[in-house]
């Protein structure tokens, strides 16, 4: 199972990368794409949308099932990746490159509480 050490994670299988401007880039983990199988549909939030922590932010659907993607922190959507809407299979090909959205957190506290790679790996085995 691939879990890059430089990213943060949630127990609901989102990965989070902190960018230089303070925004957080969010995607679903390799483990999540493997569980879902071939992805065929992605719905992303509107840019500017304000979300609470753990609120539904996006939907990814595979041939098999639909799955919500949650906001890992409270904040405002600043950018979305239209490429994965056009080609959901990009997520299957490289889950850590095919990001879904960027969110500007309203405080630092939520980010600091996210799982690190070791804690996420442990969560996957529970």
Partner 1 sequence: MEKKTALNAIHRQLGAKMVDFGGWDMPLHYGSQIEEHHAVRNDSGMFDVSHMCAVDLAGPDAKKYLLRLVANNVDKLQNAGKALYSAMLNENGGVIDDLIVYFVEDGCFRIVVNAGTAEKDLLWMNSRQAEWESRVTITPRRDLSIVAVQGPNAKARVWQALPGARAVTESLKPFCAARVGDYFIATTGYTGETGFEITLPSSMVQDFWKKLLDLGVKPAGLGARDTLRLEAGMNLYGQDMDEKVSPLDAGLAWTVDLESARDFVGKAALLAHPQERQFLGLLLLDQNGVLRAHQKVLTASGEGEITSGTFSPTLERSIALARLPFKTAIGETVKVEIRNKQLAAKVVKPCFVRNGKAFV
Contacting positions for partner 1 (CB under 8 A): 34, 37-38, 40-41, 43, 59, 61, 63-64, 66, 89, 92
The three-point CA angle 71-67-58 to 5° equals 40
67 or 106, CB closer to partner 1? 67
DSSP 45: P
16 or 98, CB closer to partner 1? 98
Q: To the nearest whole angstrom, how small is the minimum distance from the Cβ of residue 86 to partner 1?
A: 11
52 or 63, CB closer to partner 1? 63
Q: To the nearest whole angstrom, how small is the minimum distance from the Cβ of residue 59 to partner 1?
A: 8
112 or 125, CB closer to partner 1? 125
- Give me the long-range contacts of 12-17 (CB less than 8 A, separation at least 24): 12/69, 12/70, 14/69, 14/70, 14/72, 15/95, 15/96, 16/72, 16/73, 16/111, 16/114, 17/99
Q: To the nearest whole angstrom, how small is the minimum distance from the Cβ of residue 40 to partner 1?
A: 4
């Amino acid at each position: 199972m691939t879990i890059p050490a430089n990213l943060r994670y949630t127990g609901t299988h989102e990965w989070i990368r902190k960018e230089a401007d303070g925004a957080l880039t969010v995607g679903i983990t390799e483990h999540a794409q493997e569980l879902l199988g071939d992805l065929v549909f992605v719905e992303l939030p509107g840019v500017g949308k304000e979300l609470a922590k753990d609120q539904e932010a996006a939907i990814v659907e595979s041939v098999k099932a639909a799955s919500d993607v949650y906001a890992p922190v409270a904040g405002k959507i600043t950018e979305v990746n239209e490429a994965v809407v056009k080609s959901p299979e990009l997520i299957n090909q490289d889950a850590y490159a095919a990001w879904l959205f960027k969110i500007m957190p309203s405080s630092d506290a939520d980010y600091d509480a996210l799982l690190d790679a070791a804690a996420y790996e442990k969560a996957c085995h529970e």
